[in-house]
Structure 1
Amino acid sequence: MQRKISDDPSTTAVHARGKEAHASRSVPTLTIVSHPQPQRIGERLLLETLVSLGRTASLSRNEPDFSRPGSLLALPLGDPFISRKPVQFEPGVRGGVRLLVPEDGTQVHVAGRPVIGGLELSPEELAAGVPIVLAERVAVLLHLTRTPEQPHLGELGMVGQSEGVRRVREEVSRVADLNVPVLIRGETGSGKELVARAIHQNSPRRAGPFISVNLGALPKELVSAELFGVQKGAYTGAAKDREGFFRAAHGGTLFLDEVGEAPPEVQVALLRVLETGEVFPVGSHAPVPVDVRLITATDANLEERIRQGVFKAPLLHRLAGFEIQVPPLRERREDIGPLFLHFARQELEATGELQRLSGTDPRAEPWLPASLAVRLVRYAWPGNIRQLRNVTRQLVIGSRGLPGLRVDARLEQELDSAAAAVPGQVLSTPGASRPAPASEEPDSAEVRASRRKPSDVGEQELLEALRASSWDLKATADRLGIPRSSVYVLIEKSSLIRTAKDLSPEEITRCFHECQGDLDQMVRRLEVSKRALQRRVRELGLAEA
Structure 2
Amino acid sequence: MSPPKNPAEFSTTAVRSQATPSQAAHAVPALTLIGHAQPQRIGERLLLDGLLSGERAVALSRNAPDFSRPGGVLSLPLGDPFLSRTPVRFEPGVRGGVRLLVPEDGTPVVVGSEPVKGGREFPAEALASGVPLVLAGRVALLLHRATPRAAGALGSPADLTALGMVGDSEGIVRVREDVLRVADLQVPVLVRGETGTGKELVARALHTQGPRRAGPFVSVNLGALSKDLIAAELFGTLRGAFTGATRDRDGFFRAAHGGTLFLDEVAEAPPEVQAALLRVLETGEVYPVGGQTPVRVDVRLVTATDADLEARIHDGRFKAPLLHRLAGFEIVVPPLRERREDIASLFLHFARQELETTGEAGRLTSADARAEPWLPASLAVRLARSAWPGNVRQLRNVARQLVIGSRGLPGLRVDARLEQTLDADALPIPGQPLSPEPPPHSENTPTGHRTPARRKPADVSEQEVLEALRACAWDLKATADWLGIPRSSVYVLIDKSSLLRTARDLSPEEITRCFHECEGDLDRMVQKLEVSRRALQRRVRELGLEGT
Asked if TM exceeds 0.5, the reply is yes
Q: Distance in 2 between matches of 1:220 and 1:5?
A: 32
Q: How does 1:358-437 map to 2 (within 5 A)?
A: 358-427=365-434, 429-431=435-437
Q: Which amino acid aligns with 2:217?
A: F
Equivalent runs, 1:82-231 vs 2, <5 Å: 82-149=83-150, 150=153, 152=156, 153-155=159-161, 156-231=163-238
| Aligned position for 1:59 | 60
**Contact 2:90 2:101 (8 Å CA) reproduced:** yes
Q: Provide the rounded CA distance (Å) in 1 between the counterparts of 2:258 and 2:310.
A: 31
Shift of 1:236: 1.6
Letter of the structure 1 residue corresponding to residue 3 of structure 2: R
Cα distance in 1 for residues equivalent to 2:410 and 2:371 = 10
Amino acid at match of 1:32: L
**C-alpha displacement at 1:51, in angstroms?**
2.0
Which residue number in structure 1 is paired with residue 39 of structure 2? 38
Counterpart code for 1:44: R
Corresponding residue number in structure 2 for 1:530: none
In the alignment, is the contact (CA less than 8 A) between 1:118 and 1:432 conserved in 2?
no
Work out whether residues 10 and 178 of structure 1, in 8 Å CA contact, stay in contact via their aligned partners in 2. no
- Runs of at least 4 residues off by over 4 Å: 5-24
The alignment partner of 1:81 has SS state of coil
Deviation, 1:4, is: 2.3
Residues 193-221 of structure 1 deviation map (CA, whole Å, 9 limit, x = unaligned): 11111111111111111100000000111
Secondary structure class of the residue paired with 1:172: helix
Query: Partners in 1 of 2:371 and 2:70 — Cα distance?
Result: 26
Structure 1 residue 147, shift from structure 2 partner: 3.1
Change (3 A) 1:4 1:272: same
The separation in 2 between residues aligned to 1:5 and 1:58, in whole angstroms, is 59
- Shift in Å, 1:111: 1.0
Shift of 1:72: 1.0
Residue aligning to 2:487: none
d(CA) in 1 for partners of 2:270 and 2:175? Answer: 29
Residues 238-262 of structure 1: CA deviation (Å, up to 9, x unaligned) = 1111100000000000000000000
The equivalent residue for 1:74 is 75
Counterparts of 1:271 and 1:154, CA distance in 2: 33
Aligned length: 433
Sort the Cα spacing of 1:190 and 1:53 in 2 relative to 1 into closer, same or farther, 3 A. Answer: same
- The answer (yes or no) to whether the contact 2:98–2:123 under 8 Å persists in 1 is yes
The residue that corresponds to 1:301 in the other structure is 308
Q: Is 1:2 aligned with 2:9?
A: no
**Matches of 2:172 and 2:81, distance apart in 1:** 34
SS at match of 2:229: helix
Pair 99,107 (structure 1): closer, same or farther in 2 beyond 3 Å: same
Q: 2:23–2:147: 8 Å Cα contact kept in structure 1?
A: no
358 and 251 in structure 1: CA distance in 2 versus 1, 3 angstrom threshold: same
CA 256–13 in structure 1, closer or farther in 2 if over 3 Å, else same? closer
2:431 corresponds to which letter in structure 1? Answer: G
Partner SS state of residue 131, structure 1: strand
3-state SS in 2 of match to 1:80: coil
What is the distance in 1 between the residues matched to 2:23 and 2:348? 33
- In the TM superposition, what is the alpha-carbon distance from 1:148 to its structure 2 partner? 4.7
The answer on whether the counterparts of 1:111 and 1:423 sit within 8 Å (CA) in structure 2 is: no
Matched residue, 1:25: 26
Mapping of residues 216-255 of structure 1, within 5 Å: 216-255=223-262
Q: Is the 8 A contact 2:10 2:282 kept in 1?
A: no
SS in 2 for 1:405: coil
Q: 1:430 corresponds to which letter in structure 2? A: P
TM value normalised by structure 2: 0.76
Q: What is the CA distance between 1:433 and its match in structure 2?
A: 7.1
CA contact (8 A) 2:14 2:327 kept: no
- Could you tell me how far apart the structure 2 residues matched to 1:157 and 1:359 are? 24
Say which of 261, 273, 295 aligns to 1:266: 273
Q: Taking structure 1 as reference, are residues 65 and 209 closer, same or farther at Cα in structure 2, changes over 3 Å only?
A: same
8 A contact 1:101–1:431 mirrored in 2: no
Write the distance in 1 (CA, Å) between the matches of 2:167 and 2:16.
27
The 2-side partners of 1:7 and 1:250 are apart by 24
Secondary structure of the residue that 2:228 maps to in structure 1? helix
SS at match of 1:147: coil
Indicate if the aligned counterparts of 1:108 and 1:135 stay in contact, CA closer than 8 A. yes
The 3 A distance-change label for structure 1 pair 20 and 120 is: closer
Per-residue CA shift, 1:338-358, capped at 9, x if unaligned?
101111110100111101111
| Structure 2 Cα separation of the partners of residues 159 and 267 of structure 1 | 34
Aligned residues of 1:126 and 1:143 also touching (Cα < 8 A): yes
Paired residue secondary structure (1:397): helix
1:344 aligns with 2:351: yes
- Using the alignment, how far apart are the partners of 1:257 and 1:13 within structure 2? 21
**1:13–1:21 Cα change, 3 Å:** farther
Q: Which runs of 5+ in 1 are unaligned?
A: 435-545
Corresponding letter in the other structure for 1:35: H
CA shift digits 1:327-383 (9 cap, x unpaired)? 100000001011011111101001111011112111111000000000000000100
Tell me if structure 2 keeps the 8 A contact 1:25–1:148. no
Residue 291 of structure 2 corresponds to residue 290 of structure 1: no
Determine the C-alpha separation between the residues in 2 that align with 1:308 and 1:407: 45
Structure 1: distance between partners of 2:39 and 2:426: 23
1:11, distance to aligned residue in structure 2 (A): 10
How far did residue 126 of structure 1 move?
0.4
What CA distance in whole angstroms lies between the structure 2 residues aligned with 1:201 and 1:10?
27
For residues 10 and 175 of structure 1, the distance between their equivalents in structure 2, rounded to whole angstroms, comes to 19
CA drift at 1:431? 3.3
1:8/1:181 CA distance change after superposition, 3 Å: farther
The whole-number CA distance in structure 1 between the counterparts of 2:22 and 2:39 is 39
CA RMSD of aligned residues (A): 2.3
The answer (yes or no) to whether the contact 1:184–1:296 under 8 Å persists in 2 is yes
Counterpart AA for 2:190: L
> What SS does the aligned partner of 1:422 have?
coil
Pair 1:368–1:263, CA change in 2 (3 A): same
In 1, the alpha carbon distance for the partners of 2:215 and 2:90 equals: 52
